[in-house]
């Protein structure tokens, strides 16, 4: 009972544990892969504007998976991210757009235009 009340204030305790596991996974990477993963995480957090916790954690877990696999296979960082790390980050981020705050505003815009269209139809009668 108390845990539920605490989670209302602080957010999901399981999500916090999941995030700590992600950070531990990244910390265990070889230095080059860790540096790249950390830089991409920072970029994705700023550029992504993801407000849905589960989506953000899924994205970070997938990022860790990618760099863990690359490290295990001996794949250099540049082969993982390509020549343009920004393009890589943007492409990676597209897979998680369902959690971005801008989607709410996109829906609101579409609904407002649909309402305006309905209003136009009623006023022309």
All domains in the chain, ordered by first residue:
2-100 (1.10.1900.10)
Residue-wise pLDDT tens digits, 83-95: 999 999 999 988 8
Q: Reduced to 3 states, what is the DSSP secondary structure of residue 48? A: helix
Cβ proximity of 48 and 94 under 8 Å: no
| Residue reference for tokens 């001996």 | 74
What's the CA gap between 107 and 122, in Å, rounded? Answer: 23
Residue-wise pLDDT tens digits, 14-27: 889 999 999 999 99
Q: Which segments of the chain have a pLDDT < 70? A: 1-11, 99, 121-125
- Computed over its alpha carbons, how large is the radius of gyration of the chain? 20
Cβ proximity of 85 and 67 under 8 Å: no
pLDDT at 54: 86
pLDDT at 123: 66
Phi, psi of 55 (to 5 degrees): -65, -45
């Amino acid at each position: 009972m108390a845990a539920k009340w605490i989670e209302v204030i602080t957010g999901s305790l399981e999500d916090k544990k999941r995030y700590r596991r992600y950070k531990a996974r990244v910390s265990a990477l070889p230095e080059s892969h860790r540096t790249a993963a950390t830089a991409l995480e920072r970029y994705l957090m700023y550029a992504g504007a993801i407000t849905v916790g589960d989506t953000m954690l899924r994205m970070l877990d997938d990022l860790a998976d990618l760099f863990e696999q690359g490290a295990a296979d001996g794949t250099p960082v540049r082969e993982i991210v390509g020549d343009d790390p920004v393009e890589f980050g943007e492409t990676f981020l597209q897979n998680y757009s369902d959690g971005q705050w801008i989607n709410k505003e996109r829906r609101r815009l579409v609904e407002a235009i649909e309402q305006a269209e309905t209003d136009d139809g009623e006023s022309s009668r």
